[in-house]
Amino acid sequence: MYSSNLKGFILAMVSSAFIGSSFIIKKKGLRKAGVNGPRASSGGYGYLLEPLWWVGMLTMIIGEISNFVAYIYAPAVLVTPLGALSIIVSAVLAHFMLKEKLQKMGMLGCLLCIVGSTIIVLHAPEERSISSVEEIWEFATQPAFLLYTASAIATALVLILYCAPRYGQTNIVVYIGICSVIGSLTVMSIKAIGIAIKLTLEGTNQAKYFQTWIFAMVAITCIIIQLNYLNMALDTFNTAIVSPIYYALFTSFTILASAIMFKDYSGQSASSIASELCGFITVLSGTAVLHSTRDPETPLITDLYTPLSPKVSWYIQGNGELWKQKDEDESSPSFITILRQDYFK
């Protein structure tokens, strides 16, 4: 058990380092592409002609391959939370390469992520022994996981068809929510494919089972959707905010999906489960601290549902007068006295 989990741990760490770097490289590529054409957040695909974006893409592929292999040797509840390292890598690199300032509290957030990940690793459950892809198919077709899959697809469709056109440019949870929900299904499919490849290399051919190809098609479809909306999120919002929120949501949904499908916590003691939950909460706290210390980029407002009316703010002045501030685009704010209440005297 420990040898297998150790291999998964090392591969997950390598994966996180590459993936964290890819966020920064891809964003620099997206910025360069946005100078000469429509941005990805506006539906543009000019970044496909930008070499730097492809370098970032290659870096992410290397990281995902390492992650792919890690899922063969260790359970998702161990591998996925270790993605916290990618947050630290991206935050540090963003500080130096994108000039997105990392404050001292952000460093504390990074430390919390490391501590939480360590707790999870020490209390991770044993990887389940699986002899064929048909066995995985039985896990995937059990009623509980079918219900989760249906809920995930329904949630993604609502976010894509309704929320994204209206709130995608102003609410970071929309794009990242799509990536995270779909990503949990990606991980389950990737794990199935990885196990199938491992068994095939060991002499038991899994390509003859139709289930293997279904898992492959699901994985490819989900990955394409993830990449598209992750590009939109990166092009619209600050990288140091995208990374931790994506990590938190993606990890939460993946752990939930894995717990339902593979019953990862079956046979574990209550203390081990509690320790893992505490470790995960510590990691989430770290991402929240990291998030709270960063200033988001002002998104470009390009959707048709953005209100065009000016912003109105109300203030109570020290002398008791109530003021209204009207903020017009590209103009200095003006103030007008509209009311004086006797009880403010």
Burial class (CB in 10 A: 0-12, 13-18, 19+), 80: buried
Task: Kindly report the pTM of this predicted structure.
Answer: 0.69
- Distance (Å) of CA 154 to CA 39, 66, 178, 286, 317: 28, 30, 11, 30, 48
Distance of CA 332 to the CA centre of its chain: 38
pLDDT value for 88? 81
What span, in angstroms and rounded, lies between the C-alpha atoms of 234 and 256? 25
Q: Over the stretch 49-64, which tens digit does the pLDDT of each residue have?
A: 888 888 988 998 899 8
Looking up tokens 């590209």, which residue turns up?
330
Q: Is the pLDDT of residue 329 over 60?
A: no
What span, in angstroms and rounded, lies between the C-alpha atoms of 197 and 116? 31
pLDDT value for 251? 85
Query: Residue 188 — very low, low, confident or very high, per pLDDT cuts 50/70/90?
Result: very high
Q: Is 334 helix (H, G, I), strand (E, B) or coil?
A: strand
The pair of three-digit structure tokens given for residue 277, joined into one six-digit string: 């939950």
Q: What percentage of the chain exceeds 90 in pLDDT?
A: 29
Q: Over the stretch 91-141, which tens digit does the pLDDT of each residue have?
A: 888 888 887 777 788 888 888 888 888 888 888 887 777 888 999 999 999
Question: Vertex 80, ends 76 and 83: CA angle to 5°?
Answer: 160
Q: Over the stretch 231-261, which tens digit does the pLDDT of each residue have?
A: 889 888 876 678 778 877 888 899 899 889 9
Q: Is the pLDDT of residue 197 over 60?
A: yes
